[in-house]
């Protein structure tokens, strides 16, 4: 085991023995894990996040089939590692620290301490079974989700942003849908798919109509007035939905860049900021432009609804540097 990790996890509290169980059983199928010989628990049935009373850290997380939280999919990588967006306890992200389980995972992020991960399998008998995914590193928290990175032979990835994970998840779902259609020979569904995507990206029809009126039928970032290309953007999931003050009207490509965390709007100055990834592209001309906003002040996005997207953008920009070592990431759990 890495010496620095030994110092961090207080081995006198048997933290090491509990984490070692997940490492030793990685890749196996297990019933709900029983206590160790000395009675130490590895998980708890009432909560998906298990934080023992004797530890400052969360010890394990469990992905349940019937969870009331919208956890993401486990996304495998070619190097043997994987990643997961795991929902915090408590639906409101602003109340994250009210739950001791969330505080335990935040402490894992702070001190770079791994957790064990269990994933419930589809039932084949009376007793639930779990895939033991092994150890993973909680690396970041975004707007209600913990980004969990599985430990592969070379350590864990640190550079993925939430947008990277969400994009990979959506791509995997679309690929699964395509494979199902190929098997069924459903040509109409294949033809329909791009239109469904266009309608979905444009957003709720009433919301989009309200934004078209408020912004005079022009993109807030480019002044594009080609209506079929303009899409409604809901800025915050936690503010009042589908209200003009919680939205922007953006051209389709600008909407995509915004969702991917490659473009944002500085909340105080309303200046357009583009990622360094876009340097040398046609989008560089947008840098330092200002949002074109509705003439009615109540229809303009508030600073509060722009803040979260700005925070995610700036954190993603900080990660767009070569090499995880620059971020102080441990390369592996064991030396």
Summarised one tens digit per residue, pLDDT across range 115-161 is 999 999 987 777 889 999 999 999 888 878 898 988 766 555 555 66
Higher-scoring residue by pLDDT: 246, 188: 246
DSSP 186-224: -HHHHHHHHHHHHHHHH--HHHHHHHHHHTTTS-TTT--
Does one domain contain both 36 and 112? yes
Does one domain contain both 170 and 306? no
Q: Which residue has the tokens 């602003």?
A: 94
Please compute the mean of the pLDDT values over residues 81-90 and round it to a whole number. Answer: 88
Flag whether pLDDT at 200 surpasses 90.
Answer: no
**What distance in Å separates the CA atoms of residue 205 and residue 209, rounded to the nearest whole number?**
6
Does one domain contain both 82 and 224? no
Structure confidence at residue 324 (pLDDT): 40
- Identify which of 217, 302, 294 has the alpha carbon closest to the alpha carbon of residue 268: 302
Range of the domain at 38: 3-157
Does one domain contain both 17 and 120? yes
**What distance in Å separates the CA atoms of residue 118 and residue 67, rounded to the nearest whole number?**
13
Does one domain contain both 114 and 187? no
**Domain presence at residue 327:** no
Alpha carbon of residue 11 to chain centroid: 31
Higher-scoring residue by pLDDT: 331, 219: 219
**Domain presence at residue 40:** yes
Structure confidence at residue 206 (pLDDT): 87
**Domain presence at residue 302:** yes
Does one domain contain both 129 and 42? yes
Does one domain contain both 15 and 60? yes
Question: Are 6 and 335 a contacting pair, CB within 8 Å?
Answer: no
Structure confidence at residue 181 (pLDDT): 55
Does one domain contain both 182 and 276? no
Mean pLDDT (the chain) is: 81
Structure confidence at residue 329 (pLDDT): 38
Higher-scoring residue by pLDDT: 2, 89: 89
**Domain presence at residue 334:** no
Crossing angle of helices 162-184/187-202, nearest 10°? 150
Confidence class for position 325, pLDDT limits 50, 70, 90:
very low
The number of residues in the chain equals 335
Least confident of 43-52, 208-217, 300-309: 300-309
**Domain presence at residue 91:** yes
Which residues make Cβ contacts (< 8 Å) with residue 275, sequence separation at least 6?
261, 262, 263, 313, 316, 317, 320
- Identify which of 87, 202, 80 has the alpha carbon closest to the alpha carbon of residue 150: 80
Flag whether pLDDT at 327 surpasses 50.
Answer: no
Which residues make Cβ contacts (< 8 Å) with residue 95, sequence separation at least 6?
none
Please compute the mean of the pLDDT values over residues 244-251 and round it to a whole number. Answer: 92
Q: What are the tokens at 277?
A: 């990834």
Does one domain contain both 24 and 47? yes
CATH number (domain holding residue 13)? 2.30.280
Q: Which domain-ending residue is among 132, 157, 182?
A: 157
Q: Which domain-ending residue is among 157, 192, 213?
A: 157
**Domain presence at residue 260:** yes
Higher-scoring residue by pLDDT: 252, 151: 252
Question: Are 259 and 163 a contacting pair, CB within 8 Å?
Answer: yes
**Domain presence at residue 219:** yes
Please compute the mean of the pLDDT values over residues 175-190 and round it to a whole number. Answer: 56
Question: Are 324 and 155 a contacting pair, CB within 8 Å?
Answer: yes
Flag whether pLDDT at 173 surpasses 80.
Answer: no
**Domain presence at residue 335:** no
Does one domain contain both 140 and 126? yes
Q: Give the number of domains in the chain.
A: 3
**What distance in Å separates the CA atoms of residue 329 and residue 68, rounded to the nearest whole number?**
32
Q: What are the tokens at 98?
A: 């009210």
Confidence class for position 82, pLDDT limits 50, 70, 90:
confident
Flag whether pLDDT at 284 surpasses 50.
Answer: yes
pLDDT tens digits for range 201-228: 666 788 899 999 999 999 999 999 999 9
Which residues make Cβ contacts (< 8 Å) with residue 318, sequence separation at least 6?
none
Is residue 37 left, alpha or beta, with left meaning phi > 0 and alpha meaning psi from -120 to 50?
alpha
Higher-scoring residue by pLDDT: 286, 179: 286
Question: Are 216 and 183 a contacting pair, CB within 8 Å?
Answer: no
Percent of the chain exceeding pLDDT 90 equals: 42
Flag whether pLDDT at 62 surpasses 90.
Answer: yes
DSSP structure class, residue 104: H
Higher-scoring residue by pLDDT: 65, 323: 65
Please compute the mean of the pLDDT values over residues 311-322 and round it to a whole number. Answer: 79
Does one domain contain both 312 and 233? yes
Flag whether pLDDT at 334 surpasses 60.
Answer: no
Confidence class for position 58, pLDDT limits 50, 70, 90:
very high
Helix (H) or strand (E) holding 81: none
108-118 residues labelled b (16+ CB within 10 A) or e (exposed): bbeebbbbbbb
Residues 112/116/119/125 CA torsion (nearest 10 deg): -170
DSSP 109-147: HHHT--EEEEEEPPPSSSS-EEEEEEEEEEEEEETTEEE
Does one domain contain both 20 and 135? yes
């Amino acid at each position: 085991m890495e010496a620095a990790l030994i110092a961090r996890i207080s081995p006198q509290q048997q933290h090491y023995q509990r984490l070692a169980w997940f490492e030793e059983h990685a890749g196996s199928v297990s019933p709900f894990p029983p206590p160790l010989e000395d009675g130490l628990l590895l998980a708890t049935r009432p909560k998906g996040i298990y934080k023992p009373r004797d530890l400052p850290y969360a010890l394990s997380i469990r992905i349940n089939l019937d969870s009331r939280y919208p956890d993401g999919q486990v996304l495998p990588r070619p190097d043997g590692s994987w990643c997961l967006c795991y929902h915090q306890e408590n639906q409101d992200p602003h109340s994250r620290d009210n739950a001791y389980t969330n505080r335990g995972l935040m402490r894992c992020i702070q001190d770079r301490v791994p957790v064990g991960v269990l994933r419930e399998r589809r039932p084949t008998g009376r007793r639930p079974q779990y895939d033991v995914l092994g150890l993973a590193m909680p690396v970041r928290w975004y707007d209600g989700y913990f980004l969990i990175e599985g430990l592969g032979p070379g350590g864990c990835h640190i550079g993925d942003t939430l947008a990277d994970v969400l994009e990979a998840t959506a791509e995997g779902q679309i690929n699964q849908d395509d494979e199902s259609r190929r098997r069924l020979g459903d040509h109409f569904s294949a033809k329909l798919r791009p239109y469904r995507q266009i309608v979905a990206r444009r957003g709720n029809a009433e919301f989009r109509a309200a934004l078209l009126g408020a912004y005079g039928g022009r993109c807030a970032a480019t002044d594009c007035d080609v209506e079929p290309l303009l899409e409604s953007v809901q800025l915050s999931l936690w503010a009042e939905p589908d209200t003009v003050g919680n939205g922007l009207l953006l051209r389709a490509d600008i909407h995509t860049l915004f969702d991917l965390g490659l473009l944002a709007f500085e909340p105080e100055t309303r200046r357009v900021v583009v990622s360094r990834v876009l340097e040398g592209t046609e989008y560089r001309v947008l840098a330092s432009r200002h949002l074109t906003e509705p003439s009615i002040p109540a229809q303009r996005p508030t600073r509060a609804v722009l803040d979260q997207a700005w925070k995610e953008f700036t954190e993603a920009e900080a990660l767009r540097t070569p090499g995880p070592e620059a971020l102080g990431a441990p390369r592996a759990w064991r030396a």
